[in-house]
Structure 1
Amino acid sequence: MTKATTLAQLDQLDQELSRLFRQLERYDNAPLNQQPTDGGWTVLQVLHHLILAEEASVGYIQKKLSFNPVLEKAGFRAAWRLFVVDFYFRMPLKFKAPKGVDREALPEHADFESTKAQWESQRRALRKYLSHLPDAQFDRELYKHPFAGKMSLRQMLQFFGMHIKRHQSQINRVLKEVG
């Protein structure tokens, strides 16, 4: 796993994010802030959850690298951990969000354009950060998923994609109800 393949993965994520934004640009803030009848998150709360999850992931990496740790090379175990996350995400079950990215951390009301700008800014900062990391970091278990454990940076980005896909169905369900 190289820096180039990881940044290519980020390019794909950014394309997926652009598709999500194009889908949501058709709505004004009212339906995007309307809570579904099941009491779940609004569309903009889902977006903020995803933003916070990515932000926390990058924060973990930055903190981890600040003390120059010895990092294991990502191999079968890291691939297995990502597989487990993917497996659980494909299950039609609800999962409790970790503290810091749960309902308590989400805004009651938000603006789509500022939420979009926040996420885009965060992604630009992630790209800049990854671009400046030494190549040797990209095949190491540097990221730690809150439930599954240690993975590589590329696997972190794969998780980001899975996470968005998981919540895309929730977004579609809420939009169908409130839109």
Structure 2
Amino acid sequence: MNSLIHHQMLETRNSLIREFELLSYDAFNYRPENNRWSIAQVCHHLVLVERATVKAIKWGLSQNRDSNIERKNVQRILDRTKKLQAPEIVEPESAPFEKQQIIELLAEPRNELINTLSSIDQPTILQTKSVNHPAFGDLPLDQWIEAVYLHEQRHMEQIREIKGLLDLC
């Protein structure tokens, strides 16, 4: 795996955990409104997205065809003025979560992603194969990987907003 991408993924994950590790159980599971997620649910959503990403990458690698898909500006995922609707398959559970449970859940797909990427003999294959992404359409697999930590960064902003609301309670 590209060491810069690996570093970004590690740094973003560590920052994510620092955002919630000192919160109480109630604060971690606090929902600002019925139609908004708690910090725990945001984190569970990140788990589900990364699981789906691993599946997409594995599926893309298994395909025999290469593609010349245009590279996308995946950085735009950071623009929170553009509301994105999460596909139903990555919507979090409504039940409350323990922080340690979320940390363990976050580790599972990350480990699987790293193991999958480490097993690739020719990493450049990630640039030549693509899979349809819910937000970007056909996306090269290496950009799917980049989207993982960018997506976490997007949701860290959401977590900070929720934490700001906690101060008002």
TM-score bin (small chain)? 0.7 to 0.9
Tell me if structure 2 keeps the 8 A contact 1:140–1:151.
Answer: no
1:96-175 alignment to 2 at 5 Å? 96-102=85-91, 105-135=92-122, 136-175=124-163
The separation in 1 between residues aligned to 2:126 and 2:83, in whole angstroms, is 32
The separation in 1 between residues aligned to 2:19 and 2:150, in whole angstroms, is 18
The separation in 2 between residues aligned to 1:140 and 1:10, in whole angstroms, is 20
Tell me if structure 2 keeps the 8 A contact 1:57–1:144.
Answer: no
DSSP 3-state at the match of 2:97 = coil
Query: Identity over aligned residues, as a percent?
Result: 23
Q: Deviations over 1:63-122 (max 9, x none)?
A: 3334x3202145xx12xx2x1x433641513221112012xx424211111111111232
Tell me if structure 1 keeps the 8 A contact 2:58–2:116.
Answer: no
Name the structure 1 match of 2:38. Answer: 42
Q: CA deviation at 1:144?
A: 2.9
Q: CA deviation at 1:17?
A: 0.6
Tell me if structure 2 keeps the 8 A contact 1:60–1:143.
Answer: yes
Structure 2 residue runs without a partner (length 5+): none
DSSP 3-state at the match of 2:88 = coil
Structure 1 outlier segments of 4+, above 6 Å:
none
DSSP 3-state at the match of 1:144 = strand
CA spacing shift, 1:93–1:147, aligned 2, 3 Å: closer
DSSP 3-state at the match of 1:35 = coil
Q: CA RMSD in A?
A: 2.1
The separation in 1 between residues aligned to 2:80 and 2:104, in whole angstroms, is 31
**Is 2:56 aligned against 1:69?**
no
TM-score, normalization by structure 1: 0.81
Structure 1 residue runs without a partner (length 5+): none
TM-score, normalization by structure 2: 0.86
Name the structure 2 match of 1:9. Answer: 5
